[in-house]
């Protein structure tokens, strides 16, 4: 998922997407532990996607906090 797409998401959509991506990542890790994935690079891609989503969410939290001051 690209940053431009992430920035277009609303905050509730962003939170929902974080939860979905983390659940997918967990499933991939568990499946990979049991039997090798066809493409193990998907785990790295999923980690980066979760990190991008969390970064955008944190950025919005900080912007909201600075607006209140």
Per-residue model confidence as pLDDT tens for the chain (69 residues): 888 999 999 999 999 999 999 999 999 999 999 999 899 999 999 999 999 999 999 999 999 998 876
Q: For position 13, what pLDDT does the model report?
A: 96
Q: For position 1, what pLDDT does the model report?
A: 80
Residue 9 tokens read as: 């998401």
- Report whether 3 contacts 52 (CB < 8 A): yes
Residue 58 tokens read as: 């944190």
Closest alpha carbon to 9 in 47, 52, 43, 63: 52
> Whole-prediction pTM value?
0.89
């Amino acid at each position: 998922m690209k940053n431009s797409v992430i920035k277009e998401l609303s905050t509730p959509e962003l939170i929902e997407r974080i939860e979905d991506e983390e659940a997918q990542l967990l499933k991939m890790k568990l499946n990979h532990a049991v039997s090798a994935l066809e493409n193990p690079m998907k785990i790295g891609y999923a980690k980066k996607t979760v990190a991008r989503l969390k970064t955008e969410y944190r950025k919005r939290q900080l912007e909201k906090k600075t607006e209140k001051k």
